[in-house]
Amino acid sequence: MPRKSVAIAWDIRPTFGYAALAALLVLAWGSRLMAQTAATISGHVSDTSGAAVPGAAILLSNNATQSGRSTISTTTGDYTFTDVPVGTYKLTVTHPGFKTITSNAIQVQVQQSVRLDFALQIGAVTESVEVQASSALLQAENATLGTVVENEAVSQLPLNGRNYLALVALASNANTLSPNAGQAGARLGGERASQSISVGGNRIMFDYFTLDGVNNTDPDFNTYVGLPSVDAIEEFKVQTGVYSAEFGHEASQVNVVSKSGTNTFHGSAYEFIRNNYVDANPYFFPYNLTPPKVFPFKWNNFGFELDGPIRIPHVIDTRNKFFFMIDDEWRHIRSVGQGEAVVPTAAMAAGDFSGYTYQDATGTHPITLYDPATGDANGLGKQPFPNNKIPSQRISPQSTELLKYLGTAPAAPTYTCTGSSCSVNNNYAYSTSSPQDRQSLTVRGDFIQSQNLQYAFRYSSGDESIISTGLLGAGSKIITNYYQYLGSNTWTPTPHLVNEARFGYTHFYNSLGLLSAFTHNVVDEIKIPGLSGGAPATWGIPDVSFGSAQGNPIKQIWSGFGDRGGDGPYVVTDPGWQIVDNVSWTRGKHSLRLGYEYNKQTFNQLGNQFSRGQFSSQPIATAYNSGSGSNPLSGGDSLADFLLGDLYQSTVAVAVANANYVRHVQSAYVDDTYKLLQNVTIDAGLRYELTPPWNDTYGNNFTVGIPVMPEHSAISTTYPQSDWPYYVRQGNCSPDHVYDGLNIRWTASTVGNGPPPVCSNGTLPNGPLMHTQYNNWAPRLGISYSPNATTVIRTGFGLFYSQDIGNAYFDMARNIAGRVTFTNANAVAPYGSSTLTWNNAVPGGGGGSGVALLPASTVAFVMAAGHKTPYAEQFLLNIQKQVGQNWSFEMGYQGAVSRHLYGFRNVNIATPSGYVPNGAGTSVKFRTPFANMGGIQYVHDEGIGNYNAFSVKATRRFSNGFNLIGSYTFGKSLDDTSGVRVQGNDPLFPQDNRCLTCDYGPSAFDVRNRIVVSALYELPFGPGKLVPVNSKALNALVGGWQVGGIFTHQTGAIATPQDGIDRSGIQGAGGNYDRPNVTGISPYSGTRTLNAWVNPAAYQLQPVGFFGNAGRGSFTGPGLTNLDASLHKAFFMPYNEKHQLSIRFEAFNALNHPNWNNPSMTITSSTFGRISGTGAMRQLQLAAKYQF
C-alpha cells in the first residue's frame, strides 16, 4: 500500500522563493533541531566483573514525546547517541542472559556530553533493575567550559526587561560591565544597543549567537538578530574555553534552544507591569524643587505561549508524531521627561539685543554688538550697531528659518560672571517623550516520522520601534525588524551513523533616522546653498551650536538645537542564508563528527554622519577687536554672529554613503572523540574557515594607497615612485573613467602632491580591495580524565577565529560620500572678516555643475589591504566534582592570547613638536606626513590581547524546588585596543598613533573580581512537601511560594585620564586623546566624595609638545553591587491542580544601592573627578501569569 502524502501550503513572500526552495531540498534529503544545540549520551556496558559486554541493545526514549532511538554496544562495550535534543530521557539496556537495566529521568542540556555506564547483572531479560543517572551533571567527554541556564531559571528568575541574555552573566569568566558601541550604539537596533557581554576575555563583539543551531548574529555589529521571549526558550548555554571544532565564527558561543511541543498541552498567558509610582527616585533627584518633578513612566509586557501535540479529536491523532509551539509577546513603554534650554527672546531672534547684559561683582554691564561691516580688513575699528539692534535686512534668511527650531522665551536669560567663570539660567522648558514598542513571535513544529527520521521547522519574527523627541521637532526614531526561517532534518540510517542537515534564512532590518524623516524636508525649506534634503530617509534639522571664541572673554550661553550629533540616517538591510550538514559516526572507541557549512552573508547599509550639516558660530564677527593683548576681543555674541550668517565652522557630508556588501563564508571541520581508556577521553578536532572580505556589488569601494604602510607594495605598480597617498577604486578602468557614476571629485589639494585616483586593475582584488586569508586552520584538543565516577579533570587548547564587525568596512563606502569641514580662517588673530558664511559653508554652495569638489580637509577611510583574521589561542585546566545527585562544583584556570585585533589609527597626523629636532614653534603642517591631506582613518589588524583568569563555580540542578548557580572569577584582561567602534570607557584612537603598544593596558571589559549567584527556592509548605499541608484553605495561604534572586558584586570599570586639550600640538584627534603625566601620588588616596572621587594631585599636564605617560585604562572606577529579587505565589486552580495562577513581585536593585558611574577623567574640566550619575535605582515589577 503506498504511503499517503501530505501537501502543506505555505504563504511565502515572493522574495523568499529561493530560500524556500533550498529549505525543501535540504529537508527532502531525508533526515529535530540538533547539531549545535544537541547533546551526546555515551557510556560503557560491562558485566559485574567489569568485562565489556558487546552487542547489548540500548534504547533511548524521550519522556515527553515518547520518541526513541536505539543502538548496540560495540566490541569494546561502548555506545554513543549523538545529536540528542534537549530534554528528559530514559535509557534501557538489554542483553540475553542479563537482567534489563533502566535509567530514568536523565536530564540532557544543550551541548552537554552525558556519560552513563551500566554494569549488567546475570539473570533473565524479563527481570529489571532501575538505576539513577548519577553522572549526568558531569562533562566527562570533552574540555568545553560553559554554563547551562535551564528553563526553570530562564522563566522564573527576575530579569529586568525580560531579556534572557542578562543570564549570560551567570557564567564564570563572563561580565556585562562593558562598553557598548559608543556613539554607534543606536545603529545596533533597539535593545541591541545595550549588548555588552564579554566572555573569556574576548571582545564584546566576538560573541556568536545561534538560535536552534542556525546563525542568529547580524554581521553589522555582531549583535543578536532575534530575541525570543523567555517563555519560548527551553534553555541556553554560554560556551567558552576549548570547545568542539564544530563551533566557530567567533571566540565565544551563545547557543539558544527554543521550546518544542510534547504529548501534553502546556501553555501560559501573562502580563508584567512597571510604572514610576513604585520605582525609587534617581540618586541625584532634585528634591528641592516645589512642586517636585514627576516624570510618568509605564512599562507593559504581555503575551502567551502554547505547545503540545497536533491533533484533531475524532479525526486524526498524531501523538508521538506532530508537535507545535507558538509564542507571541508584546511590550509597550511610555515615558515622559522635561528638557531645559537657554533661548533668546523673540526680539533677540529678530536682531534686537537692546538691554542685553551680564552681571558680575561690580554690577550690570551691557554686551555690545559691533557691526563687522564697519571695520577694516583686520577687523579693527568696528562701530557698535545703533541701539544694539541688527537691521532686519542684514539678517540671514537661512538663520531666521533655522531659529524656528530653537524657540523663544518671554524673558532673556540671566548671565552672571564671577571672575572668568560665567553661568546662565535656563529660561525655556520643553517636554520630551520616548514611546517604545516591541513584538516577537516564535512558531515551531516538530515531526517524528520514525525512530530514524525526524524534522523540525521554526519561524521567528520581531518588530521594534523607539522614538525620542527633543526640542521643537528634533528627535530620532529607530525602526527594527527581523524574520527567520529554519528547517532541520535528522536521519539515522544505522545505529552508529547519524546525518543532520539544516537550513536557515534570516532577514534583519534596522533604520536609525530622525523624527522628521519621511515627513518633513526641513533642509530644502531653509535653502542653504549647496545643501539638499536628499532622500526622505535623510530628512531632519541641521545641527546648530554656539561656542566661545579664542581671545574673547564673553562666554557662549545659547543652547544648541536641531538634530544634534550629526548622526544618521543609517539604514541596514541584512538578508542571509545558511546550509549546514553534519555527519556523526561511531566506531569502536571513536566518535567521529564532521561537517560543512555555507553562509551567504549580505550587509547593505545606507547612511552617513552630517548629511544635514553641522554648523557653529562664535562671538567673533560682532566682537570689538582691540588688536592687542591675550584677549583682544570684547563684546559680541555667538547668536548675533549666527543671525548675520557668519559661521565659525561647518561639517557637511557630500552624499549619503551606500554600501552593498556580500561575501560567501564557508567552513568545514572534523572532530574525533576518542576513548583512550574508559576514564580518559581525547577530543581532537580541526576546523577550517574561509571568510573573505566584503565585496561591494555596486563597485563603489575606494581605498587609499599610503606609501608609509606595508601593504603599499601590493598596489605600487600603479604609481611606484609616489611619495603621496592616492585613491584607488575597485575594478578595472582607465584613468579617465575613475569617476564614472559618481558626483564627487577630489581636488588637487586633497591629495597634496599625489597623483589622481586610479582603479585597482588587479593590483588588489577588484571587489573588496583586500586580500583573502586562506590559511585559517583552527586546531582543537581537549583531554578529560575521570579518576572516579564523580570527578572530571579537563585540560585543552584551541585556536578560535573571529569575524570582526562589518560596520568597520562601511567606512570605505564613506570615501565617496565625503565629510567636509570648513573653518573660518579668521577665527584667530588678527581676527579679520569672516571667511565662512552660508554661501560657502557647503561644498559646491556657490552653484556650478552639481559635482562636489572634496577639499583637503576630507577624511579618508582605509582598511588595511593585507588584513589578517583576528584569532584567540585559548587554553584551560579545570576540575569538576559532583556531590550527590544534583550538586556539582568546579574550579580552574582559563587563559587566552589574542592576535590581529582590529583597531583605529590616524596615519596622517602630526608628530608632537617635542619629538622633532628643533620642532618647537614649527607648524602642524611641517610635522604632518602628508600635509595637504586630511586625516586618514586606518583600520589596522595589529592589536594584541591577553587574558588570565581563575574561577570557581557551584551548580545545583533544579530539583525539589531548589536551583542555584554561583561563581567567582578573578581575572585580568589586557590589550592595546578593545574594539573598532568601542568607546564608553575606552579611547577610540590611541594617544600616539605611531605606537600602539604604548596603549597596552586593561581592556575596556576588564573586571578583576566578580561574584554572581542566582537561586530559586520553593518554600517547603504544601502537599508532598517537607512540611505537608493537607488543608486546602491553609495551603492556599502558605503553599506555592517561591523566592528567587540574582546577586552580583564586582570591581569597577576602567577609565582613562585625559587632558581635554591639544597639549601635544598634533591637532586632529590629539585634543581628544592626549593623556597627562602621573605624579606618583595614588589617584585613590585622600578622602573620596562624589565631588572628588579622584585625587587631583595624581595627574598633571605634560610639557607642551609631548604625550603624557598616564596609562590607558589605568584608573578603576567604582564597583557594582546589585540584587535582583523575586517573590512568587502560585494559586492552584480548584478545577484542575495542573492549572495555576502565579502572582509575581520582582525588584531590580532591590537594595536600592547606588552603583556610581565613572567619574569625569578630563583633568582640565571643572568636573574632573566628579561622579554625576548612577545606574538605575530600585525598580519594582508586578506580574500575573496563568499556566497549565
In order of their start, the domains of the chain are 35-139 (2.60.40.1120), 343-425+516-546+609-654+819-858 (no CATH)
CA dist 1162 and 1151 (Å) reads: 32
CA-to-CA dists, residue 1035 to 335, 1016, 1129, angstroms: 40, 20, 11
Longest dimension (CA), the chain: 117
- At 400 the pLDDT is 95
The three-state DSSP-derived secondary structure of 505-539 is EEEEEEEEEECCCCCCCHHHHHCCCCCCCCCHHHC
Kindly report, residue by residue over 88-108, the tens digit of the pLDDT. 888 889 888 788 888 887 888
Position 1006 confidence tier, pLDDT thresholds 50, 70, 90: very high
CA dist 767 and 1065 (Å) reads: 39
Strands (E), 691-802: 695-696, 702-705, 726-729, 744-746, 758-759, 777-788, 791-801
CA dist 757 and 727 (Å) reads: 5
What is the dihedral sign for C-alpha 239, 244, 245, 246?
negative
- At 1071 the pLDDT is 53
In this predicted model, which residue has the larger pLDDT, 192 or 851?
192
CA dist 931 and 30 (Å) reads: 65
Residue 95 cell numbers, joined = 542483553
Position 181 confidence tier, pLDDT thresholds 50, 70, 90: very low
CA-to-CA dists, residue 23 to 10, 574, 580, 901, angstroms: 12, 19, 11, 36
Residue range 599-609: average pLDDT?
90
Question: Closest Cα to residue 942, out of 985, 907, 977, 908?
Answer: 977
What single-letter amino acid sits at 917?
Answer: P
**In this predicted structure, which of 10-24, 379-393, 863-877, 1098-1112 has the lowest mean pLDDT?**
10-24
Residue 1136 cell numbers, joined = 484542575
Strand duo 453-469 + 363-366: pairing: unpaired
Position 17 confidence tier, pLDDT thresholds 50, 70, 90: very low
In this predicted model, which residue has the larger pLDDT, 1121 or 46?
1121
Q: Is the pLDDT assigned to residue 897 strictly greater than 60?
A: yes
Question: Closest Cα to residue 407, out of 522, 520, 561?
Answer: 561
CA dist 79 and 589 (Å) reads: 9
Q: Is the pLDDT assigned to residue 6 strictly greater than 60?
A: no
Contact 705, 722 (CB under 8 A): yes
Position of cell 507593559? 300
Q: Is the pLDDT assigned to residue 691 strictly greater than 80?
A: yes
Question: Closest Cα to residue 416, out of 364, 348, 368, 340?
Answer: 364
CA-to-CA dists, residue 494 to 73, 447, 490, 590, angstroms: 13, 20, 12, 16
486: left (phi over 0), alpha (psi -120 to 50) or beta: beta
Question: Closest Cα to residue 325, out of 486, 492, 453?
Answer: 486
CA dist 180 and 159 (Å) reads: 20
Element (H, E) at 1043: strand 1041-1050
Q: Is the pLDDT assigned to residue 973 strictly greater than 90?
A: yes
Kindly report, residue by residue over 754-803, the tens digit of the pLDDT. 678 888 888 888 778 889 999 999 999 999 999 998 999 999 999 999 99
CA-to-CA dists, residue 1100 to 82, 242, 1068, 1086, angstroms: 63, 45, 22, 17
Q: Is the pLDDT assigned to residue 1099 strictly greater than 60?
A: yes
With vertex at residue 591, the alpha carbon angle to CA 587 and CA 593, rounded to the nearest 5 degrees, is 120
CA dist 235 and 217 (Å) reads: 18
What single-letter amino acid sits at 558?
Answer: W
Best-predicted range by mean pLDDT among 52-56, 697-701, 871-875?
Answer: 871-875
Position 1162 confidence tier, pLDDT thresholds 50, 70, 90: very high
Q: Is the pLDDT assigned to residue 997 strictly greater than 50?
A: yes
**In this predicted structure, which of 333-337, 692-696, 811-815 has the lowest mean pLDDT?**
811-815
- At 116 the pLDDT is 85
Position 32 confidence tier, pLDDT thresholds 50, 70, 90: very low
Residue range 189-207: average pLDDT?
82
Residue range 10-30: average pLDDT?
36
Q: Is the pLDDT assigned to residue 1119 strictly greater than 50?
A: yes
Contact 358, 364 (CB under 8 A): yes
- Here the contacts of 4-10 (C-beta below 8 Å, separation 24 or greater) are none
- At 1068 the pLDDT is 62
Q: Is the pLDDT assigned to residue 1106 strictly greater than 70?
A: yes
- At 24 the pLDDT is 38
Residue 1070 cell numbers, joined = 590629539
Contact 1149, 1140 (CB under 8 A): no
**Mean per-residue pLDDT of the chain:** 85
**In this predicted structure, which of 441-445, 781-785, 909-913 has the lowest mean pLDDT?**
909-913
Contact 35, 46 (CB under 8 A): no
Element (H, E) at 348: helix 346-349
Peptide bond into 1134 cis (omega under 30): no
CA-to-CA dists, residue 719 to 331, 737, 812, 906, 1007, angstroms: 59, 17, 21, 23, 49
Residue range 225-241: average pLDDT?
88
Position 210 confidence tier, pLDDT thresholds 50, 70, 90: very high
- At 158 the pLDDT is 92
Kindly report, residue by residue over 930-956, the tens digit of the pLDDT. 887 888 899 999 999 999 999 999 999
- At 970 the pLDDT is 97
Residue range 308-321: average pLDDT?
80
Kindly report, residue by residue over 270-299, the tens digit of the pLDDT. 999 999 888 888 877 555 444 556 678 899
DSSP, res 1123: E
Strand duo 633-634 + 819-823: pairing: unpaired
**420 CB burial (10 A radius; 0-12, 13-18, 19+):** exposed
Kindly report, residue by residue over 1137-1157, the tens digit of the pLDDT. 889 999 999 999 999 999 999
Residue 363 cell numbers, joined = 554690577
Q: What does the radius of gyration of the chain's CA atoms come to, in whole angstroms?
A: 33
User: What percentage of the chain exceeds 70 in pLDDT?
Assistant: 89
CA dist 1108 and 1065 (Å) reads: 12
Q: By three-state DSSP, how is residue 956 classified?
A: strand
Residue range 303-331: average pLDDT?
88
- At 30 the pLDDT is 36
In this predicted model, which residue has the larger pLDDT, 282 or 720?
282
Contact 1149, 1178 (CB under 8 A): yes
